[in-house]
Structure 1
Amino acid sequence: MPTARIFQHPKNAMQSGRARTDAWTLEFEPAEAKKPDPLTGWAGSGDTRGQVRLEFPTAEAAIAYAEREGLAFTLIAAPERKLKLQAYADNFK
């Protein structure tokens, strides 16, 4: 039985925007290890499910899809946002 991960992307630390952080992603776990190609040396495998990434508007929609398709899944909770509120005047104390 294929297994999948359902998770929500955290905010990118290098940018201030929060685009695409509200969508939930279903991603399949790798079924086989990657091995180097003898000709090019690039890592690859015969598992094509590793290329599939599905996005859902809510976690419930992703869970419903996984249950409907008979997938075992792991739900990874979204990380908590921690706000560090600071006044500009605090820099001069």
Structure 2
Amino acid sequence: MPKGYWIANITVTDPQSYADYQALAPEAFARFGARFLARGGRRIALEGRETPQRSVLIEFPSYEQALDCYHSEEYQRAKAARCHAAEVDIVIMEGI
């Protein structure tokens, strides 16, 4: 079964409120077997839009678990805390 991945690009606009998201989100990630492959660190945009403040790559045991995590009550609580704290693009994709 192919793994699932979250690819997120984040620009934090309110660090204090974003910290609330960071305190809540790990519960959902743990429940759905997430494994962080990349978070922050060096990066450069070679094409397209400018480089966001943060890029994150998260691996899940399956595409379905990646989707289920996003739609879970736990993650939706974290997302609500992040609502006005960051500009976020998230893509969920199936691995090969």
TM-score interval, smaller chain: 0.3 to 0.5
Higher strand proportion: 2
| Max Rg structure | 1
TM-score by length of 1: 0.33
